[in-house]
Structure formats: structure tokens, C-alpha cells
């Protein structure tokens, strides 16, 4: 259950004119958010960034019922509130400008995590999705926690790749924890909260309005030791994340792409600006691990032990259709590498029409992905 004192943190943040930067001076002066609400107007005199109007707004605050409803909803969800005074607060975030005063968290932030962000286009190409899946799986197998924004395209692929490798991943939302966006990511949202955490600085009920996402991006980069940009057009939001990462002193990595493809103009531009070109996870690890005093890190599991899209395994076990012998035969042929449908037919010995029908079923269930050709 969320501690009652946290209502003062939430209330303070909800007041117009009180941003994340205001918490530092206020806490330094009053020692706790609770003390802020019992002060007099003159007590705010001389506190950096706090005007007389802001002080009066704090002391006139009456929306305690709304704060209680939000806290009750968070309790019902099983969520928590982690302030920057909490030892569970991500260490890297403490060192960024405009750090969130607190985070709403569903799940568990991994201890001693090595966080790396993977971001990219919402309108990802098959190549971008495949590359994201491969990199996120391999990084997760090395014990890296994958950070992303749970958006369509590259973000979702990054989370799924980490989960498929039975690794940890954190999704940073631009909405309240009770507002899943995009809605089709409900199963992914649940899987992330069970194998890492979904976090937000926005209270329950907050909708995913456009201006929330640039602010969200500073948290994605701020948590991480480095940011990998897979695919990005010239006006991609991923470039905002990369720019924030540079300002925060984080490493920025980029996947190169065809010079005549609009999908890679952003990433190619990042490389020209100094982002590190990568073609394997070793290019990432050799820059990230020394920051933690770790020269190397061993895989936590062999790649061949990992079933594709493992985060759906529980769903598969409940799906009687997928437990039928023909489906099991097809699933045995699948691996990290692409395989042609004709080869599946040859290996399984099943009729072509039956294989084609079952492959469509597996794709609709999100277990396999069809690539061009």
C-alpha cells in the first residue's frame, strides 16, 4: 500500500507553477512536502523559483479528494510511487536536469541494472524490426535492461526482444499508468510490468497528449547509459531522445541505413554528428560497460535456449490450438534466423496448404513475423 505521506508529493506536483525543479529548493527549506502545506506565505520568501503567487497556490490547495482517488487507483493496480529520496529511484536519473520528483511504477525496477535505451520510428520497416529484435535479445542475454517507450514500431520490438530473451525491460509512458497507449499493446504492457517495470511521471488518468512525449524522452535517455537509435526519419521523435542523451552526457549509437531511404535519414545524420555507428552489440558494450567498471559481461543464457517471443509462452500453454501436434512440428523449425515457408513444408512433411494456414494463425497470434520474400 502506498504510504500516506506521498499524497503531499502528488499534491505539490499538481499545483500550477510547481515543477520538478521546484522540489529541490522546497525540500531543502521545509525538509518535507508535508511541511510545505503547513507553512505561512512569508515562509516562502527567498526560496529560489517560488513566487508569491506559487506560495499562495500551495496554501490554497483543496484537491485532496482527487489525490486520494488517484492513490486508491494506484493501490488497486498494485503500483507504487518512488521519489528521488527512495533508494529504488534510478541512479542515473538523479543526475539529469529536471529530474522527475517521483515516478509512478508498476512492476519492479531491477537492482544494479545496466540500462540501455533502444528507440526508433513508429513506422518501422521489416529490416528495422528485425534489427531491433536481434539487438534487444542479444543485449538482454548479456544482462542489459532494455529501456524504451512502448510506442508502435521500434519501441515495441525492443521490449518484445528483451522479453523473448527472458530479460528485463522498462517502458516509460507519456500517459498515466492506467492509460495504455497504444491500446493494442495491452498484452505487452502486462508482460513488461511482470518482467521489469512500466513507469510514468504522470498521474493516473493522464492522456497521451503530444507534448508529453518529448518530456517522456528525457526520462528514457536519462535512465540509460546509452541510447541506440535503430531507424529515424528527419523529424523523428527519436532524434529528440538522441539530442537529450547528448545533453545528458550519454552515449548515442545509431544503425546506418541506405542513403536514399527516408527511414534512415535521421540515423545517418546522427552518425555524421558523432553518434557511434554500430553493427553488433559489442560496439555498445565496449562503451557502456567501462562506465560501470565492468570490462565484460557474460551471457545469462545461451541463445539457442530461448524460444522466439517467449513473453507469449504462458498464453501459448493456454491455447489448445497451439498445443496440437502440427503446430508443435512447425514451432520446432523456428529460430532466430529467417526460414522460408517452403523449407518449413520440407522439414515438417506437412501439406503446403495446412502449413500456410497455420503460419497465418501463428502470425495473427503475434508468435512469428513475416518478412519480405
Instruction: Answer whether residue 89 is part of any domain.
Output: no
**Residue 266 grid cell:** 535521421
Contact yes or no for 90/196 (Cβ under 8 A): no
Residue 210: give its domain's CATH number.
3.40.50.450
Question: In the block, which residue shows the cell 503446403?
Answer: 352
Domain count, the chain: 3
Verify that 268 and 223 share a domain, yes or no.
yes
φ and ψ of 286, to 5 deg: -70, -20
Helices within 60-116 (DSSP H only): 64-77
Instruction: Answer whether residue 90 is part of any domain.
Output: no
Spatial CA neighbour of 12 closest among 48, 57, 73: 57
Verify that 139 and 4 share a domain, yes or no.
no
- Which residues form the domain of 332? 319-364
Contact yes or no for 101/23 (Cβ under 8 A): yes
121 vs 151: CA distance, rounded Å: 9
Instruction: Answer whether residue 232 is part of any domain.
Output: yes
220 vs 119: CA distance, rounded Å: 9
Instruction: Answer whether residue 69 is part of any domain.
Output: no
b/e per residue, 153-181, with b = 16+ CB within 10 A?
bbbbbbbbbbbbbbbbbbbbbbbbbbbbb
Question: In the block, which residue shows the cell 529501456?
Answer: 147
156 vs 337: CA distance, rounded Å: 20
Q: Which of 242, 273, 292 is the last residue of a domain?
A: 292
Verify that 139 and 234 share a domain, yes or no.
yes
Verify that 35 and 117 share a domain, yes or no.
no
Verify that 234 and 117 share a domain, yes or no.
yes
Q: How far is CA 26 from the centre of its chain?
A: 30
Beta pairing, strands 276-277 & 251-254: parallel
H or E segment and range at residue 118: strand 114-119
Verify that 224 and 135 share a domain, yes or no.
yes
> Strand, coil or helix: what is 90?
coil
HSE (side-chain half, CA atoms, 13 Å) at 313 = 10
**Residue 227 grid cell:** 541510447
- In tens digits, what is the pLDDT along the chain, a chain of 373 residues? 788 899 999 999 999 989 999 999 999 999 999 999 999 999 999 898 899 999 999 999 999 999 999 999 999 999 999 999 999 999 999 999 899 999 999 999 988 899 999 999 999 988 899 999 999 999 999 999 999 999 999 999 999 999 999 999 999 999 999 999 999 999 999 999 999 999 999 999 999 999 999 999 999 999 999 999 999 888 788 999 999 999 999 999 999 988 888 889 999 999 999 999 999 999 999 999 887 666 556 554 433 333 344 434 444 555 555 667 777 778 778 765 678 888 888 888 888 777 777 786 777 666 777 765 5
Question: Torsion angle, CA of 119/120/124/129, rounded to 10 degrees?
Answer: -40
264 vs 120: CA distance, rounded Å: 10
Verify that 110 and 217 share a domain, yes or no.
yes
Question: In the block, which residue shows the cell 520446432?
Answer: 332
Question: In the block, which residue shows the cell 558523432?
Answer: 274
130 vs 329: CA distance, rounded Å: 24
Structure confidence at residue 296 (pLDDT): 58
pTM of the model: 0.80
294 vs 289: CA distance, rounded Å: 5
Instruction: Answer whether residue 370 is part of any domain.
Output: no
Verify that 141 and 178 share a domain, yes or no.
yes
> Strand, coil or helix: what is 368?
coil
Instruction: Answer whether residue 334 is part of any domain.
Output: yes
Instruction: Answer whether residue 94 is part of any domain.
Output: no
Beta pairing, strands 169-172 & 276-277: unpaired
Residue 54: give its domain's CATH number.
1.10.150.20
Verify that 113 and 213 share a domain, yes or no.
yes
Verify that 271 and 224 share a domain, yes or no.
yes
275 vs 242: CA distance, rounded Å: 9
Verify that 35 and 118 share a domain, yes or no.
no
Amino acid at each position: 500500500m502506498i504510504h500516506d505521506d506521498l499524497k503531499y508529493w502528488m499534491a505539490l506536483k499538481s499545483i500550477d507553477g510547481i515543477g520538478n525543479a521546484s522540489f529541490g529548493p522546497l525540500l531543502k527549506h521545509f525538509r518535507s512536502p508535508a511541511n510545505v502545506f503547513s507553512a505561512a506565505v512569508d515562509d516562502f520568501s527567498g526560496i529560489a523559483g517560488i513566487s508569491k503567487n506559487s506560495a499562495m497556490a500551495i496554501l490554497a490547495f483543496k484537491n485532496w479528494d482527487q489525490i486520494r482517488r488517484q492513490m486508491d487507483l494506484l493501490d488497486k493496480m498494485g503500483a507504487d510511487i518512488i521519489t528521488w529520496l527512495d533508494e529504488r529511484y534510478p541512479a542515473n536519473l538523479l543526475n539529469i536536469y529536471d529530474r522527475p520528483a517521483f515516478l509512478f511504477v508498476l512492476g519492479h525496477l531491477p537492482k544494479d541494472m545496466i540500462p540501455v535505451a533502444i528507440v526508433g520510428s513508429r513506422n518501422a520497416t521489416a529490416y528495422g524490426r528485425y534489427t531491433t529484435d536481434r539487438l534487444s535479445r542479444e543485449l538482454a542475454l548479456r544482462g542489459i535492461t532494455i529501456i524504451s517507450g512502448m510506442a508502435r514500431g521500434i519501441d515495441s520490438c525492443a521490449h518484445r526482444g528483451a522479453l523473448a530473451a527472458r530479460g528485463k525491460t522498462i517502458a516509460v509512458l507519456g500517459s498515466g499508468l492506467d492509460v495504455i497507449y497504444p491500446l493494442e499493446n495491452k498484452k505487452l504492457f502486462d508482460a513488461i510490468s511482470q518482467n521489469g517495470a512500466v513507469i510514468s511521471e504522470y498521474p493516473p488518468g493522464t492522456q497521451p497528449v503530444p507534448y508529453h512525449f518529448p518530456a517522456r524522452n528525457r526520462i528514457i535517455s536519462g535512465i540509460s547509459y546509452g541510447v541506440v537509435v535503430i531507424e529515424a526519419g528527419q523529424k523523428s521523435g527519436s532524434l529528440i531522445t538522441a539530442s537529450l542523451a547528448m545533453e545528458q552526457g550519454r552515449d548515442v549509437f545509431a544503425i546506418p541505413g541506405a542513403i536514399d531511404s527516408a527511414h534512415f535519414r535521421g540515423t545517418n545524420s546522427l552518425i555524421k554528428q558523432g553518434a557511434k555507428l554500430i553493427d553488433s552489440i559489442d560496439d555498445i558494450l565496449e562503451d557502456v560497460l567501462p562506465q560501470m567498471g565492468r570490462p565484460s559481461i557474460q551471457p545469462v543464457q545461451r541463445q539457442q535456449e530461448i524460444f522466439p517471443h517467449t513473453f507469449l509462452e504462458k498464453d501459448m500453454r493456454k491455447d489448445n490450438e497451439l498445443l496440437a501436434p502440427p503446430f508443435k512440428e512447425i514451432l520446432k523449425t523456428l529460430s532466430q534466423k529467417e526460414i522460408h515457408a517452403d523449407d518449413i513444408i520440407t522439414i515438417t512433411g506437412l501439406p503446403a496448404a495446412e502449413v500456410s494456414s497455420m503460419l497465418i494463425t501463428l502470425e495473427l497470434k503475434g508468435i512469428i513475423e513475416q518478412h519480405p520474400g
